[in-house]
Homo-oligomer: A and B are copies of this chain.
Amino acid sequence: MATLGNSANIFWHECPVGQAERQKLLNQKGCVVWITGLSGSGKSTLACTLGRELHSRGHLSYVLDGDNLRHGLNKNLGFAPEDRTENIRRVGEVAKLFADAGLICIASLISPYRKDRDSCRALLPDANFIEVFMNMPLSLCEGRDPKGLYKLARAGKIKGFTGIDDPYEAPSNCEIELRQINGVCPAPSEMAGKVVSYLDGKGFLQA
């Protein structure tokens, strides 16, 4: 539309149906449940179980899965540091749109760097960003290795793999931490239940 720069001559349109009205229609409040953790820590499993549990209670949620989005919105991004940051930024922006639409948006990404997660958090009112840390030991994740990626990373066939030769920065301010109890990983339904209880307690499951 213009050559004057990125944000020149761009206007903001206020649309008459707002978030509050959509939330009333859905009888819930839009928010982002951001699940972070190592590959193999159970993020996708939790996301799916949580989505199922919310659906069974009549709530509308939607899962944004980091891997899946790399086939679509983020298919033009690789794994260089700036691409990883852009990958997470886009997911954060889309998650914000879903929350604005009134949905409980469940984002499931390794998202290893604190600053990238915090940038996504900053897009929303702080209370509407619920960071869930899958705090599972590397040994457990590597033992599961559901995609065979740790094996490739250990063999040097993948470089910059989180937990092996690239750091995972644990959250310092997450809303929910899920971890093993006495060396046993809680069942997915148990972990999902913890998130649902949190959402319920904070009033997200009603308008």
Give the contact-size bracket for chain A: 35 or more
Task: List which A1-56 residues lie within 8 A (CB) of chain B.
Answer: 1-7, 9-13, 15-17, 21-22, 25-26, 39, 44, 47-49, 51-52, 55
A159 contacts across to B, CB distance below 8 A: 3
| CA A3 to CA B9, docked complex, whole Å | 39
**CB–CB B102/A10 < 8 A:** no
| CA A121 to CA B117, docked complex, whole Å | 32
Min CB distance A68 to B, Å, is: 6
A44 contacts across to B, CB distance below 8 A: 13, 15
**Do A65 and B10 form a contact, CB below 8 Å, given A1-B162, A98-B101?**
no
**Do A60 and B26 form a contact, CB below 8 Å, given A93-B72, A97-B94, A158-B4?**
yes
| CA A44 to CA B1, docked complex, whole Å | 15
Report, nearest first, the 4 A-B pairs whose CB atoms are least far apart. A73-B93, A62-B101, A13-B44, A3-B159
A58 contacts across to B, CB distance below 8 A: 25
A72 contacts across to B, CB distance below 8 A: 93, 96-97, 123
| CA A57 to CA B6, docked complex, whole Å | 38
Q: What are 21 A-B contacts defined by CB distance under 8 Å? A: A1-B149, A2-B149, A3-B78, A3-B79, A6-B70, A7-B70, A9-B147, A9-B158, A10-B70, A10-B71, A13-B67, A15-B44, A15-B48, A15-B63, A16-B49, A21-B55, A22-B60, A22-B62, A90-B90, A94-B97, A98-B98
A101 contacts across to B, CB distance below 8 A: 60, 62, 98, 101, 103
